[in-house]
Amino acid sequence: MLGDVLDVLACPVCGGGLAVAGQVVRCAQRHSFDVARQGYVSLLSGSRSPGTADTAAMVAARDDFLSAGHYAPLAARLAELAAAPSGGVVLDAGAGTGYYLAAVLGETGARGVALDISKHAIRRAARAHPLAGAVVADVWHGLPVKDASADVVINVFAPRNGAEFARVLRPGGRLVVVTPAAGHLASLVERLGLLSVDEHKERRVEERLGRWFTEVSGERLEFGMTLDADAVAAVVGMGPSAWHRDRADAPEASGVSGAPAETVTASFVLTTYSPCLSSKAIHDQASYLTD
């Protein structure tokens, strides 16, 4: 619930602490933000556009696919790598529906903050776990989160803001990043003409994080999935290829509908990092309030 993590959040305008007053979240400077009836709050500053936020259709497809358990092995391994102590805080930057955050929190007693720019995703994330609060925020910009307030930051198939991730982590905290590996969903990529994983993905991740973080460990996780036509349509509809497919590419027109179940390989890279600098040093170098 939002109230469980309000002590972690910061006003996106002045950086002050926040408190709930009825259906409004407000700071001491009286900057106020309405709490939606679904239980989330938008802390987007100014008139910032949601940009390429996932659409309602993409979020529904993702929820269908993840709820079916196809990525359960990934969620289980992430929960091991990103476990936080009871009362600790896990920040999910680019949380989507909150599926992975819920897996990490489990029954540990840790609290969670789900951040995503898509209000359609955050509506679902607000219900993902009893100790998780959901916030509309832009991961590319300053996070509405206090300095040194999170034990763990997780980042699953989402934008990576190294300076901000390091700023919000407590001393001894860690960042766990999940990216698709080369060969992820390869059979579907070839058959349906989907976007493939960038061959320079690892280099680009390093460029985003290298100034702020040191890699502690990395591993590849690979497993097979048996997907029927509905599951294939969902995995296509929830990913980046959905932005590049129009109605002519709908499942019934692209060879997905009615196709027999097939075995598809999922392949991921899970990397754990520790901050190079203290959150205070990072905050002094580049305050998120100037974004």
52 pLDDT tier (thresholds 50, 70, 90)? low
Model confidence pLDDT, tens digit, residues 118-163: 999 999 999 999 999 999 999 998 999 999 999 999 999 999 999 9
pLDDT at 22: 82
How far is residue 11 CA from its own chain's centroid? 20
pLDDT attached to residue 252: 45
Q: Are 167 and 190 in contact (CB under 8 A)?
A: no
What CATH number has the domain bearing residue 240?
3.40.50.150
pTM above 0.95, yes or no: no
Domain limits at 194?
2-290
Number of domains composing the chain = 1
CA atoms of 244 and 186, how far apart (whole Å): 18
